[in-house]
Chain A
Amino acid sequence: MILDDFLVRAALAGIGVALAAAPLGCFVVWRRMAYFGDATAHAAVLGVALSLVLSTSILAGVLVTSLIMATLVSSLSGRGYAMDTLLGVMAHSALALGLVAVSFVSGVRIDLMAYLFGDILAVGKLDLAIIWAGAVIVLGLMRWRWSSLLTATLNSDLACASGIDPGREQWILTLSLAVVVAVALKVVGVLLIAALLIIPAATARPFSRTPESMALLAALFGAGSTTGGLQAAYWLDTPTGPTIVSLAAVLFMLSSLVGQARARRHAQ
């Protein structure tokens, strides 16, 4: 069976995560939530540690801590601290706490690097099923709420006047973010999840005229980076997660060069 090949499983896992991350990543960029994505991802280390201590499934642990983190940040914002200060405190505290908690787990039988940088080549059939289930859930949520999410992103008062509750839309994004973090953990690891959200969306921006085309292009760039990065890592014998993100960064640089050249031609 074709899924018996670990490289095929890895490619499919990468594509699944890239597809889910693309529309969500666009919202992260439009709403300036990059740090928010970071904080949610960093909380995942704490989730890994807690699920090892409590011997529950890692997926559940990560999902719960990421959700708690995102909810905490949402509810604490606007209470005396600027959002970026708050997120800077929370993201790194969660990461540090998680690393400390992991060290308490008896017998260092977990490979911490696999959670920090991902281990896409070790994706099993069950992992693949979980990743695609998560991707389908997130893509479904995005499709269902797309118009409302966009309106709320544009202006919360405009959304209210159209009968949309901006708070509910924010919550849907938070939930989707937690799901993406949980399923992307295996692919790129907590330190690089935010990159997979933001870089493809930013790469798509210069070529897009509508929000929809930006999300589609981001999916394309994301899937291209994961499969291309996988291939490159195989040839160069480099760590897979960081290679994927490096390739995405190269695409971003090319895209911004093209964008600038166009802007200059436009200005003349």
Chain B
Amino acid sequence: MTLLTIENLDVDLGGQPILDNIHLTLGRGEIVTIVGPNGSGKTTLLKTIIGALSPAWGRIRRSPGLVMGYVPQRLHLDATLPMTVDRFMRLPGRHSRAGIDQALESAGAAGLGKLQMSSLSGGQFQRILLARALLGSPDLLILDEATQGLDQQGVIDFYHQLESVRHELGCGVLMVSHELHVVMRTSDRVVCLNRSICCEGTPEGVASSAAYQTLFGQGVPDALAVYHHDHSPRPTLQELAS
């Protein structure tokens, strides 16, 4: 079942073309990751999908009654705003105690409800953002570099959590990420973006494509090999992507 269809999408910011002729579809249960260099329009694409920016051309069709859960790239909480985790979870909607506990549990943040948002560690904060996005059982989860500022273990844990959430809810996931090594392992499909979509497909296919190699250079697979050294002595790209 298709959750989201994007056709011929152009987006301009301040007169500058940021996205050019984007086509994208996303179905239920699918994890699609957008990769691309800085300034390639990844965040702009997500913001257009959630309705924070309007397209200059083309259109975005959401399946009727689509519920979106959104995890922003960065959330700055002003120090003058007192906010407990529980209160944050109920913004803007009302949710039952059980629903909130369930979402916190799913995101690996059980028992944090009474804390002030300002007292959370970076990892806890990201989990709370994920938990809030899970409330109301979204059909589509949208994550913008949700693991920014986490250490390696934190990143791995976060994506494990995401996988189990996907199985639990059966939702589609659309995310932007810089963690190429993890992305390649957890995504069903990878979209390589640089103002327009330069290649798209299975992680294996994208990783071996010329366009991807040009964008990210030859150094990337090596970085992956070092990272996975403790799992297997000499991983192939296929293994990395599996």
Contact = CB atoms under 8 A, between A and B. Distances in A.
Nearest to A153: B81
B78 interface: yes
Contact of B70 (A30, A158, A202, A212): A158
Contacts, number: 69
Given A147-B92, A148-B92, A151-B91, A213 B72 contact: no
Contacts of B84: 209-210
B-side interface size class: 20 to 34
A147 B91 contact: yes
Interface string A28-46: 0111100000000000000
A2 B72 CA distance: 55
A211 B83 contact: yes
B8 to A, nearest CB: 22
A30 B51 contact: no
A-side interface size class: 20 to 34
Interface string B121-155: 00000000000000000000010000000000000
Q: Which of A31, A32, A153, A161 has the most CB of B within 10 A?
A: A161
B47 to A, nearest CB: 6
Given A151-B91, A210-B87, A157 B47 contact: yes
B52 interface: yes
Given A30-B80, A158-B91, 20 more contacts: A147-B93, A150-B91, A153-B81, A154-B75, A154-B91, A155-B72, A157-B47, A160-B47, A161-B51, A161-B52, A161-B142, A162-B92, A202-B80, A205-B80, A209-B82, A210-B87, A211-B81, A211-B87, A213-B82, A214-B82
Interface of A: 29-32, 147-148, 150-151, 153-164, 202, 205, 208-214
Interface of B: 47, 50-52, 68-70, 72, 75-78, 80-84, 87-88, 91-93, 116, 142
